[in-house]
Amino acid sequence: MQEVPRRYLRMPHAERGMVVGLFGGSFNPPHAGHALVAEIAIRRLGLDQLWWMVTPGNPLKSRSHLAPLAERIALSKELARNPRIKVTAFEAAFGVTYTADTLVRVKARNPQVRFIWIMGADSLGSFHKWQRWQEIARTFPIAVIDRPRSTLSFLSAKMAKTFDFARVDEEDAQILWKKKAPAWTFIHGPRSALSSTELRDAKATGKPGMRPAAE
């Protein structure tokens, strides 16, 4: 098994006062749709950095088809061309499994940095199944980036209904970092039809994967 280079097992450095997006996922595999979410977040939220956090695995998903961490990091690095994006797998070094625990560590180590949790709209529907999901929402502001077939998820998702009072207008996304959590916004924009699940299935069956497409 390929060893993960040490530099990816350290938490990235951020200067005091920076606005940093936290974009976590198994990225199994990473694809252009992930890169599009990252780019939209950087631009619309005015981020100084975006930490592309490759996790050891998703507690809600089977690990039977999970590619090695080193491979997912390498593929993510190839996609993350923007110098503001910092690919990292520090969660593996800390031995944390749940996002809530990750955010506690990030906040403790960077008290003078402004963080925003970034996630695709396709994750919003199941967000309430995450361990201590309400604690996550009360730790850092959240930006939900539009994804295919998920544009209306903010109307029905349990998280969206529970924290409806904390929703920030999309036009104010640039100042989301100033808001005290809970605070969240839904950002519309170009959407890539690529899917990690479908890419894995295509690879397993030897069939062509989905072509990149914007909606």
DSSP bridge partners of 86: 51
Predicted pLDDT at 148? 76
Going from N- to C-terminal start, the domains of the chain cover: 6-205
Contacts of 174 (CB under 8 A, 6+ apart): 44, 45, 46
Instruction: Give residue for tokens 């072509």.
Output: 211
What are the tokens at 113?
A: 């940095």
Give the start-end residues of each E strand in 43-84. 49-54
CA gap 14, 25 in Å, rounded: 20
Instruction: Name the fold adopted by 6-205.
Output: Rossmann fold (3.40.50)
Predicted pLDDT at 201? 43
Predicted pLDDT at 57? 80
Mean pLDDT (10-residue bins), the chain, 215 residues: 89 98 96 94 98 86 82 96 97 93 97 96 92 98 86 83 97 98 91 48 48 34
Which one, of 37, 30, 72, 24, lies nearest residue 192 by Cα?
Answer: 37
Which one, of 112, 28, 111, 104, lies nearest residue 72 by Cα?
Answer: 28
Instruction: Give residue for tokens 């899917």.
Output: 195
Phi, psi of 40 (to 5 degrees): -65, -40
